[in-house]
Each structure stands twice: as C-alpha cells, then as structure tokens.
Amino acid sequence: MALAEARGRLLRWPRVLLFGDSITEYSFQENGWGAYLAERLVRKCDVVNRGISGYNTRWAKLILPRLITESTSADSIVAVTIFFGANDSALKELNPKQHVPLEEYAANLKSMVQYLKSVDITADRIILITPPPLQEAAWEKACLAKGDKLNRCNATTGQYAQACVQVARECGTDVLDLWTLMQKNQDFSSYLSDGLHLSTKGNSFLAAQLWSRLENKLSALPSLLPYWRDVDHTNPEASLL
C-alpha cells in the first residue's frame, strides 16, 4: 500500500470527554482523577479535559454544542462526564455572578443531556457527577484570604446534588453522587484541599468511583495498534497499515 494512501486512513482514537468546572480543569494535575483515567485508558481512548474553571451550567449549556457536533466528533465519543454544581450552588446574595437557581440548574443539566442524545450520544455513555460536599470552615478561610465572605454552604450544595441525581434518574443516565458518597465518612474534610476543590485523597476517591462505572463500559475496547513484539519487522506495513 502506498504511503499516500495510508495517510488517508486516519487512526481515530475513541474519546472520553470530561466536561465541568475547575474540579474537572484541575483533574489532569499530579494525582488528579482525570490523569488516573487517562493512564488506565492509554492505547484505548483519549481522555479529553474540557474543564473550565468558575463556570456554571448556564454557561456550560451554551458551550457544549461548540465542543461536540454530530458531523465532526460525536461518533468517536464513548463516554461523557458532566460535572457542574459547585459554582451554581454559590449563594446568590454573596456570589450572584456564579449562582444559578436550583430549578434552572436542573433544567440546564437536562438540556445538556438532551443535546448529547440529539447528536446520538446515548444515555448509557453519559455520567452526571454531583458537586462534592463543602467543608465550610476551610472554604471560609479561603474566601477571607481573598477579602470575601463565605459564599457557599454545604446544605445548599446538597440540594443541587439531589437535583443532579433526580435529573439523571429522569434522563436515564448514570450518576455519581459524590456529595453523598464522600459524607459516608463523617469527616470528609480530607477529601478537599481548600473546602471546595479536591485533595489528593479526594481525587483518588473520585477516580476509583468513576472507574468502577467506566470500566464495564470501556473494557471491551481493544488496544490500538499491535503490541510491538507482534509487528512483522520484515514487513511492518502488513501490521501497521
């Protein structure tokens, strides 16, 4: 086969898309949950980080159609995580820019799931993730260091987590209820670095919980390109093209 012809047969890696706020954006840092997934899926999938720090669902639903379109990318996506709520649940009177009312938050999540379905990403490939619990004392300290007041509370975050779970139930998607799971251990502060974002332990916890859901979905995916010992070194074109 001519090399020119081979170049036309593009190798297309399946993709796992991580869509969320700063907790997703930071997930490729050392010991991050996104990096964990990427390591587990190397040679099988590209894990694509589309975390955008500070964003809420009101903004996210506008962006999603610019990230995934039926004509260009949807067919290669084997899983999508939608991980918002930590900013939506900010207290309106203290953080009006990021705050999104609870009912709108649920509607926005539902809208994003419906959009994904409209471009043929089926419900079984979508995982909603609730915001983690908020450790108020630690987050208040972080706020005060920036000259702000405590602008979130854990009980309110819990309402948004419950709404996320309900949307998943209504839309038929999987859901990872991080808010509830992390609080099964009464002292959940070790899961958080500053009361809001994940610590190394929190990243490991999320990675393990998420992998338990993704492993079955993705276990059948083959490794791309043959193992090097299996390449016919006398005629590599036969193995690689």
User: Can you give the CATH number for the domain in which 41 is found?
Assistant: 3.40.50.1110
pLDDT score, position 6: 53
Q: How many domains does the chain have?
A: 1
Residue 235 lies in a domain: no
Residue 139 lies in a domain: yes
Residue 9 lies in a domain: no
The count of other CB atoms within 10 Å of the CB of residue 114 is 11
Residue 119 lies in a domain: yes
DSSP 175: E
Residue 163 lies in a domain: yes
Residues 6+ apart with CB under 8 A from 127: 79, 80, 81, 82, 173, 174, 175, 176, 210, 213, 214
pTM: 0.92
Catalytic option among 46, 73, 111, 194 = 194
DSSP 6: H
Distance CA 159, CA 140 (A): 20
- Is the pLDDT at 191 greater than 90? The verdict is yes
**233 catalytic residue (yes or no):** no
Sheet with strand 174-176: strands edge to edge: 46-51, 15-20, 77-83, 126-129, 174-176
Residue 6 lies in a domain: no
pLDDT score, position 1: 47
Window from 15-29, 55-69, 191-205, 218-232 with minimum mean pLDDT? 218-232
Averaged pLDDT of the chain: 92
Catalytic option among 22, 189, 190, 199 = 22
**22 catalytic residue (yes or no):** yes
pLDDT (tens digit per residue) in 138-190 = 888 988 998 889 889 999 999 999 999 999 999 999 999 999 999 997 789 99
pLDDT score, position 74: 74
pLDDT score, position 3: 53
| Strand, helix or coil for residue 80 | strand
Expressed as residue numbers, the domain containing 122 is: 15-221
Residue 10 lies in a domain: no
Phi, psi of 56 (to 5 degrees): -120, 180
Give the mean pLDDT of 184-200.
Answer: 91
High-pLDDT (> 70) share of the chain, %:
96
**197 catalytic residue (yes or no):** yes
Structure tokens at 116: 């994904």
Q: How confident is the model at residue 228 (pLDDT cuts 50, 70, 90)?
A: confident
pLDDT score, position 10: 79
What are the Cα distances from residue 51, in Å, to 14, 23, 33, 100, 106? 19, 7, 12, 18, 19
Residue 137 lies in a domain: yes
